Amino acid sequence: MKKKLFINVKRLVPNAHLSFSTLVLTLFSIVALLAPLISNNKPLLVVIDGKLEFPLLEDEKFDEKKIDKSTIILNPPFSYTNIDIDLDNANYVSPFSEQNILHTKSRHWLGTDLIGHDVLAGIIYGARIALVVGFFSMLVSLIIGLLLGSIAGYWADDRIKINLLEIIIVIPLPFLIFFYGFYIHKYDWINALAQSNLSVLITASRSFLYSFTVFIATVFLLFLERKITKAFLKPRWFLPLDFLINRGIEIFESLPTMFLIIALMAVVKPSLYYVVLIIGLTSWPPIARYTRNELLRIRKLEYIEAAHALGFGNARIIFKHALPNAINPILIALAFGVASAIIAESTLSFLGIGISTDQVTWGSMLASARQSPEAWWLIVFPGFMIFIVVLALNKLGDGLVKRMDNRIGV
């Protein structure tokens, strides 16, 4: 009886972790997605002379002179955005201090910073920035990690054979991609990074086109080589894809990630797009490693062998049969990855090299507290938000790990 009770309690642990995480992350996502409806300096709905107006959907500032006694107004719960400046309540007004508030505005419930930004509005809109950075940076990491992990795990070191001529053709490929895709455009990259996001996009598209052309040319040469030399130059050696990709992952993981992110952010203009891209490009190794490990296990199972026997293509086997059965460890890596991305963005904002300074984020509010340590509300509230969201994501990862362990009987 005791043993049975112990097992039931053990199984409740991952459910408790997942319930806590689900509740916190659901509230976090709702606040992030509905930030303009929760805190804004424009009314949500105005009824003037029987006509409905939605000032929140308009770019122009709402004209309060149109309001009279017969006007019906639906305001958001809080009256500020993260970029609004209230000069009447500037210079670090505490949440419990007396505040000079207009009758049309709400109180600064969590205080203000040096120039009058509302801390509560900063936390609400900061949730949106954290959600965007966490989700889209992990989307970039997921694409890279799944691609490299699938190649390493599915083909490993014993499925693709090459000969000496193919080795001679393949070895220069990375150097040619780097030279034609990036090196000859280095001055274009420098100019684009100093100009606008559109210039960066155009330069990146040009570099990608050159790199892709080199890659396609190499594949075409390999195809011709196979056709021409098939009769007298047979493949002799296995291509160690798993070994090469694993060494690449190890080299990348040996780099200090945060210093690498800071170094990359130092050469680009402060922008949310660059933060997402750079964090995503530096966070893929765990996903690649989890994917590789799972596919090394799955590739030897009977249903994969049956798919090979039926003549299914490699792409169909990987994406339709292998990856769906390897998704659990990948989800765990994603949960921890989103938490790491939020911490990285907060660190960059704290250092002043992340998102543009006209946007208030959790990290930038912590940074503003350095100028006035007695402004405790700039430390407590943003710090608590970072803590609770990262804790929820880590608990989500822990819950998924324990649930997977229970399924396999660990």
Cα end-to-end distance, the chain, whole Å: 20
Total tally of structural domains belonging to the chain: 3
Q: Which of 57, 75, 93 is where one domain is finished? A: 75
Say if residue 306 is in the same domain as residue 349. Answer: yes
- For residue 48, is it left (φ>0), alpha (ψ between -120 and 50) or beta? beta
User: Would 336 be classed as within a structural domain?
Assistant: yes
Taking each helix axis from N to C end, the angle separating 285-298 and 119-155, rounded to the nearest 10 degrees, works out to 40
* Alpha carbons 380 and 396: distance in angstroms, whole number: 24
Strands 72-74 and 45-48: antiparallel
Query: What pLDDT, on the 0 to 100 scale, is given for residue 321?
Result: 87
Checking if the pLDDT of 310 tops 80, the result is yes
Q: What is the mean pLDDT of residues 180-197?
A: 79
Q: How confident is the model at residue 311 (pLDDT cuts 50, 70, 90)?
A: confident
Q: Which residues contact 189 (CB under 8 A, 6 or more apart)?
A: 182, 203, 207
Secondary structure (3-state) at 162: strand
Say if residue 317 is in the same domain as residue 179. Answer: no
Report yes or no: 179 and 235 within 8 Å, Cβ to Cβ.
no
- CA separation (Å) from 252 to 181, 285, 388? 21, 7, 30
What is the pTM assigned to this prediction?
Answer: 0.84
- Residue-wise pLDDT tens digits, 115-140: 888 999 999 999 999 999 999 999 99
Mean pLDDT value across the chain: 84
* Alpha carbons 167 and 176: distance in angstroms, whole number: 15
List Cβ<8 Å contacts ≥24 apart for 8-15. Answer: 10/406, 11/406, 13/399, 13/402, 14/398, 14/399, 14/400, 14/401, 14/402, 14/403, 14/406, 15/399
Q: What angle do CA 38, 43, 48 make, to 5 degrees?
A: 150
Q: What is the mean pLDDT of residues 311-339?
A: 88
Query: What pLDDT, on the 0 to 100 scale, is given for residue 3?
Result: 46
Q: How confident is the model at residue 105 (pLDDT cuts 50, 70, 90)?
A: confident
* Alpha carbons 148 and 291: distance in angstroms, whole number: 8
Q: Which residue type, as a one-letter code, is found at position 76?
A: P
User: Would 243 be classed as within a structural domain?
Assistant: yes
Taking each helix axis from N to C end, the angle separating 241-254 and 285-298, rounded to the nearest 10 degrees, works out to 150
Q: How confident is the model at residue 376 (pLDDT cuts 50, 70, 90)?
A: very high
Say if residue 28 is in the same domain as residue 117. Answer: yes
User: Would 8 be classed as within a structural domain?
Assistant: no
User: Would 4 be classed as within a structural domain?
Assistant: no
Say if residue 32 is in the same domain as residue 155. Answer: yes
* Alpha carbons 137 and 340: distance in angstroms, whole number: 10
- For residue 240, is it left (φ>0), alpha (ψ between -120 and 50) or beta? beta
Secondary structure (3-state) at 159: coil
Q: Which residues contact 335 (CB under 8 A, 6 or more apart)?
A: 393, 394, 396, 397, 400
* Alpha carbons 297 and 315: distance in angstroms, whole number: 17
**φ, ψ at 236 (rounded to 5°):** -120, -30
Q: Which of 16-25, 60-69, 114-123, 266-275 has the highest mean pLDDT?
A: 114-123
Say what percent of the chain tops pLDDT 70.
90
Q: Which two tokens stand for residue 211?
A: 């790199």
Query: What pLDDT, on the 0 to 100 scale, is given for residue 254?
Result: 87
DSSP assignment, residue 322? I
Checking if the pLDDT of 50 tops 60, the result is yes
Of the ranges 26-40, 176-190, 294-308, which one carries the lowest mean pLDDT score?
176-190
* Alpha carbons 350 and 346: distance in angstroms, whole number: 6
Say if residue 32 is in the same domain as residue 156. Answer: yes
Say if residue 262 is in the same domain as residue 369. Answer: yes
User: Would 149 be classed as within a structural domain?
Assistant: yes
* Alpha carbons 53 and 34: distance in angstroms, whole number: 19
Say if residue 248 is in the same domain as residue 113. Answer: yes
Say if residue 144 is in the same domain as residue 280. Answer: yes
- Residue-wise pLDDT tens digits, 199-249: 877 888 888 888 889 889 988 888 888 777 765 667 778 888 899 999 999
Checking if the pLDDT of 381 tops 90, the result is yes
**φ, ψ at 70 (rounded to 5°):** -85, -5
Report yes or no: 151 and 241 within 8 Å, Cβ to Cβ.
yes
Say if residue 69 is in the same domain as residue 117. Answer: no
State which residues form the domain around 212.
164-230
Q: Which of 202, 230, 258 is where one domain is finished? A: 230
Query: What pLDDT, on the 0 to 100 scale, is given for residue 406?
Result: 63
Q: Which of 191, 213, 230 is where one domain is finished? A: 230
Q: What is the CATH number of the domain that holds 384?
A: 1.10.3720.10
User: Would 9 be classed as within a structural domain?
Assistant: no
Say if residue 104 is in the same domain as residue 205. Answer: no
Say if residue 178 is in the same domain as residue 188. Answer: yes
Query: What pLDDT, on the 0 to 100 scale, is given for residue 6?
Result: 43
* Alpha carbons 100 and 94: distance in angstroms, whole number: 12
Q: Which of 248-252, 355-359, 399-403 has the highest mean pLDDT?
A: 248-252
Say if residue 281 is in the same domain as residue 257. Answer: yes
CB atoms within 10 A of CB 178: 13
Write out the E strands in 147-297.
161-162, 237-238
Secondary structure (3-state) at 372: coil
Query: What pLDDT, on the 0 to 100 scale, is given for residue 255?
Result: 85
Q: Which of 12-21, 59-68, 71-80, 107-116 has the highest mean pLDDT?
A: 107-116
Query: What pLDDT, on the 0 to 100 scale, is given for residue 243?
Result: 92
- Residue-wise pLDDT tens digits, 240-291: 889 999 999 998 888 888 888 888 887 777 788 888 988 999 999 999 999 9
User: Would 5 be classed as within a structural domain?
Assistant: no
HSE at residue 136, side-chain half, CA atoms within 13 A, is 14
User: Would 330 be classed as within a structural domain?
Assistant: yes
